[in-house]
């Protein structure tokens, strides 16, 4: 049986600089503690998900908090078996969550945070419009009861969607408040800053995102329906942060369930019902060869870095 890994997901919007120096310091910290995952750094802050032994993860979080700007960073912890990430990557980016609007600064302006224990009351208020700020494929496997799915393919689509639709929807439905949520809190926090800039007066966000809600709220009291998509090998999680019922199509990265895998359009690592008609024959052949190499590597008990796409 493989050893349980501790997973820490965290982010913080801060205004800072000297990113190259910070990148070097964080890389050394992660290497010293033998952890894997991805950490993004930008002028607007930090965003990361890392995995390793409990001792190593806590050492890295402590090291990050040595920076006064990150002293109050609040990781979401969960556990999983086996290999969660292949390697450790620390990357410099223009944004820690890509919205295509680098002028937005959530460190200076953001909506009101709502604790998980108060969330049900807020979203049950008939004056509240509840918006899922995640991508369409994430919303498809689970969301809060009665929430609005903007059907965006990318978070970069959210500003245009809100500009063209939000005020009209609020007026039509008699809503005066907007409550937003996402996986860990980062997207709705940035979206809340944008909506305030656009003149929406009452904007709220779920503190800690869906992950914190599923950790703190029992299934009996929950208004969450389905699984929550996560961006690692677990694919989805449920209440109590236990692994969910979904796998991933490694050709298109869409979450797939047992019914999808029974489809004639499903072939492991090559296609699924979501992407079957979108790949050329040349690309399918390339996927097939890649899948063959993955299986051979597994037989030889070796890692194949192309497993996750």
Residues annotated as catalytic are: 182
Whole-angstrom distance, CA of residue 244 vs CA of residue 223: 17
Q: Tokens 């820690």 identify what position?
A: 96
- Return the structure tokens found at 217: 């709220």
DSSP 189-257: HHHHHHHHHTT---EEEETTHHHHHHHHS-TTT--EEE-EE-SSTT-EE-GGG-B-S-EE-TTT--EE-
Classify the phi-psi angles of 168: left when phi > 0, otherwise alpha if psi is within -120 to 50, otherwise beta: alpha
Sign of torsion over alpha carbons 167, 152, 140, 186: negative
Contact 76, 9 (CB under 8 A): yes
Contacts of 249 (CB under 8 A, 6+ apart): 255, 256, 260, 266, 271, 272, 274, 275
Whole-angstrom distance, CA of residue 290 vs CA of residue 268: 11
* Cα dist from 102 to 47, 90, 296, whole Å: 15, 20, 44
Contact 284, 266 (CB under 8 A): no
What DSSP designation does 155 have? G
Q: Tokens 């990318």 identify what position?
A: 154
- Return the structure tokens found at 83: 């290999």
């Amino acid at each position: 049986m493989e050893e349980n890994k501790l997973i820490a997901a965290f982010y913080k919007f801060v205004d800072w600089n000297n990113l190259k120096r910070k990148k070097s310091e964080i890389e050394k910290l992660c290497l010293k503690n033998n952890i894997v995952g991805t950490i993004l750094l930008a002028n607007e802050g930090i965003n990361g998900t890392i995995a390793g032994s409990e001792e190593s993860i806590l050492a890295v979080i402590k090291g990050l908090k040595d920076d006064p700007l990150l002293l109050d960073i609040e990781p979401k912890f969960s556990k999983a078996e086996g290999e969660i990430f292949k390697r450790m990557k620390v990357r410099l980016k223009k944004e820690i969550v890509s919205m295509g609007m680098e002028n937005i600064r959530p460190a200076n302006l953001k909506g009101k945070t709502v604790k998980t224990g108060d969330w049900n009351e807020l979203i049950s208020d008939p004056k509240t419009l509840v918006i899922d700020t995640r991508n369409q494929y994430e919303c498809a496997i689970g969301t809060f009861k009665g929430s609005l799915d903007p059907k965006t393919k990318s978070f970069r689509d959210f500003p245009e969607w809100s500009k063209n639709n939000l005020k009209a929807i609020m007026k039509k439905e008699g809503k005066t408040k907007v409550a937003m949520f996402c996986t860990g809190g980062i997207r709705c926090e940035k979206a809340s800053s944008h909506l305030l800039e656009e003149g929406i007066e009452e904007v709220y966000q779920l503190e800690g995102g869906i992950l914190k809600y599923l950790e703190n709220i029992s299934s009996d009291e929950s208004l969450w329906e389905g699984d929550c998509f996560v961006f690692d090998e677990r694919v989805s999680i449920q209440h109590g942060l236990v692994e969910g019922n979904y796998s991933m199509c490694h050709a298109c990265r869409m979450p797939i369930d047992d019914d999808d895998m029974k489809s004639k359009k499903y072939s492991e690592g090559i296609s699924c019902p979501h992407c079957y008609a979108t790949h050329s024959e040349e690309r399918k052949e390339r996927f097939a060869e890649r899948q063959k190499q993955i299986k051979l590597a597994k037989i030889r008990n070796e890692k194949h870095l192309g497993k996750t796409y």
